[in-house]
Structure 1
Amino acid sequence: MYPILLSPILNLLLLLFFFYSLDATTSFWPNKETHEIQPKETHSVCSQTFACGRFENLSYPFTGGARPAHCGPPEFHISCVDDSPELTIMSLRYRVLELDPVHKNLRLVRSDLWNSTCTDKFANVTIKSEFFAYNENDDMELSIFYGCNSSTITPKPENWFPCNVNLPFNNSYYLIGTVPIDPIMGGVKCEIETTVPILKTAAAKLGANRSLFQEAIMEGFNVNYSSPYDVECAKCLHLKRGCGFDSHSSRAVCFCGDRVCDFSGTKFHSIRP
């Protein structure tokens, strides 16, 4: 018997039909190994920076703007008020004049004394904690007295100024440094005494020219800052993770995408607001 000879065109059609059938069959039986795609991890919100006024690229330990509060300790939350950054320390608000993240230094001034020598917040400034501390090489104290009965003092010294803050008397005065025993002021009674830190360089100018009282306050004072969680956060940053803060346990945490993870990068729970 002679073999059946097919024409070249028929052979080509049979070959195309074979591959079409094979492809149609495999489409009904997907290969799990080739079709399982791991979702790409989202970029951690705690890896991003924020800006306020002339300060840009602010990051850990500071939070504010597009950088949520859980991305750093609450002590370092910056409020942007009319494009001016403000920190709240020991219940008082401070305007941030300078911020040096390399040397971890801040230049601050009390917000209630910005453009004013009168205030109704008579708390003494105490900035000494595990987060903030005076720079003793740069700062010194200025003592301010409000509500003083100065009827026996004439003429008024250059360090006197009027201030209406709802006290029995409207006269006020200031002294540079610690309060001495001043014979001139010995008979003066004041309702309120408060202390404000200023720069030593500003104090020297004020001593030479008593009219520079407001300018001396507005130059601010220097504060060193530190975070007790820097060691843990360095581990996060080494793994290119976002460093944040868990207010429930008061500890630093890493963020992998939108989840808290351990310092090896293993996720274990979602963000808790």
Structure 2
Amino acid sequence: MHPILLSPILNLLLLLFFFYSLDATPSFWPNKETHEIQPKETPSVCSQTFACGPLQGLSYPFTGGARPGHCGPPEFHISCVDDSPELTIMSLRYRILELNPVHKNLRLVRSDLWNSTCIDKLANVTIKSEFFASNENDDTEVSIFYGCNSSTITPKPENWFPCNVNLPFNDSYYLIGTFPIHPIMGDVNCEIETTVPILKTAAAKLGANRSQFQEEIMEGFNVNYTNPYDNECAKCLNVKGGCGFDSNSSRPVCFCGDRVCDISGEMIAIGNSAWFLRFVLALDSVTIKW
């Protein structure tokens, strides 16, 4: 008996697989609803920009509109709601008033405080994460009190406003910085206290005119953003590629044309081709005896 090497057979198998793969649809594209890639989509769409309301020419790391979710980290997905751009940070929705990609700065306001002083979700706003952080040089905080038992007190303090948030009492108050507490509030109990950032310039105007609470809240506050994957994405430029994001591994990926590639420009094996290649390499290392 003589051992028969499989290399000629393997060459034939590889040739057949090559022609088969030309017509095969890659199976690794996840579905769009989980911010992953659809079978009919290709990474080339990530070279496009999109616009929403006052924001124009949005690109990496932001996604939305013509830029599907796989074109950037999920934390930077912008929803266009009635032609108004919105960003979700730590489960709260914010309307984007301004975006400066050069200084990586955003002007935000809570979406439920737009044209309203009664919030939908009773949660404090503390923006500090791997991606976003409040700008302490520009911002201060306003404390808002809801459900206060002061309905029989007259006249109302200048920092009072009515608000029905499904609490026993509808009286509400705000305090900002060193804003003086009205003496009458010493006997007032409130059900809920929450804090919201506000611009220091808006706080100064509010101190001069305390009836402008809603208007000054709508000026928003400043947030700095950071993309922790910037250094890795910069390597994509070495192969004239674009940067996207793989939600399965939670890591950035490079796009070369309409294919995912590594930083050397080599195409990455996808779908079933990876296991087939491992199978072929394993066969190439064995012999069969007759």
* Length-normalised TM-score, structure 1: 0.80
Shift of 1:178: 7.2
Counterpart in 2 of 1:3? none
TM superposition shift of 1:180: 8.1
SS in 1 for 2:94: strand
Could you tell me how far apart the structure 1 residues matched to 2:261 and 2:249 are?
Answer: 14
Offset at 1:179? 8.8
3-state SS of paired residue (1:267): coil
Matched, 1:73 2:73: yes
1:249 is aligned to: 249
Aligned to 1:114: 114
In the TM superposition, what are the counterparts of 1:1-273 in structure 2 within 5 Å?
44-151=44-151, 153-177=153-177, 184-270=184-270
SS in 2 for 1:233: helix
Native 8 Å contact 2:138 2:222 kept in 1: yes
Relative to structure 1, the CA distance from residue 179 to residue 74 in structure 2 (aligned partners, 3 Å threshold; closer, same or farther) is: farther
Q: How many percent of aligned residue pairs carry the same amino acid?
A: 84
140-149 or 236-245: bigger deviation: 236-245
TM-score calculated relative to the size of structure 2: 0.75
Deviations 1:66-110 (A, max 9, x none): 101011110000000111110000000000000000000000000
> What is the aligned-residue RMSD (CA, Å)?
2.0
Structure 1 SS opposite 2:243: strand
User: How big is each residue's C-alpha offset from its partner over 1:3-55, in whole Å with a ceiling of 9 and x where there is no partner?
Assistant: xxxxxxxxxxxxxxxxxxxxxxxxxxxxxxxxxxxx9xx87221211111121
Q: Comparing 80-89 with 145-154, which one deviates more in the overlay?
A: 145-154
SS at match of 2:116: coil
Aligned-pair distance for 1:151? 4.0
Mapped contact 2:105–2:225 kept (Cα < 8 A): yes
Q: Residues of 2 paired with 1:127 and 1:165: CA distance?
A: 24
Paired with 2:240 and 2:139, the residues of 1 have a C-alpha distance of: 38
Quick one: which amino acid aligns to residue 76 of structure 2? F
Structure showing greater radius of gyration is 1
The answer on whether the counterparts of 2:124 and 2:195 sit within 8 Å (CA) in structure 1 is yes
SS of match in other structure, 1:44: helix
In the alignment of these two chains, the number of paired residues is 231
Q: Is the 8 A contact 2:239 2:256 kept in 1?
A: no
Letter of the 2:251 partner, please give it.
Answer: R
User: Contact (CA 8 Å) 1:242, 1:254: kept in 2 or not?
Assistant: yes
Is the 1:45–1:242 Cα contact (8 Å) retained in structure 2? no
Q: How far apart, CA to CA, are the structure 2 residues paired with 1:102 and 1:245?
A: 21
Cα drift, residue 270 of structure 1: 4.6
CA distance in 2, matches of 1:48, 1:237: 16
Contact 2:240 2:256 in 1 (8 A): no
**In 2, Cα distance between the equivalents of 1:203 and 1:269?**
56
Aligned partner of 1:97: which letter? L
Question: Secondary structure at the residue paired with 1:161?
Answer: strand
Q: 1:241 to 1:160 in 2, by over 3 A?
A: same
| Contact 1:45–1:257 (Cα < 8 Å) also in 2 | no
Structure 1 residues 238, 100: closer, same or farther in 2, change over 3 A?
farther
* Unmatched runs of 5 consecutive residues or more in structure 1: 1-38
1:85–1:96 Cα contact (<8 Å) kept: yes
Q: Which has the higher contact order (CA 8 A, sep 6+)?
A: 2
Q: Distance in 2 between matches of 1:202 and 1:130?
A: 27
> Partner of 2:6 in structure 1?
none
Q: Is the 8 A contact 1:258 1:270 kept in 2?
A: no
Q: Look up the SS of the partner of 2:102 in the other structure.
A: coil
Change (3 A) 1:178 1:61: farther
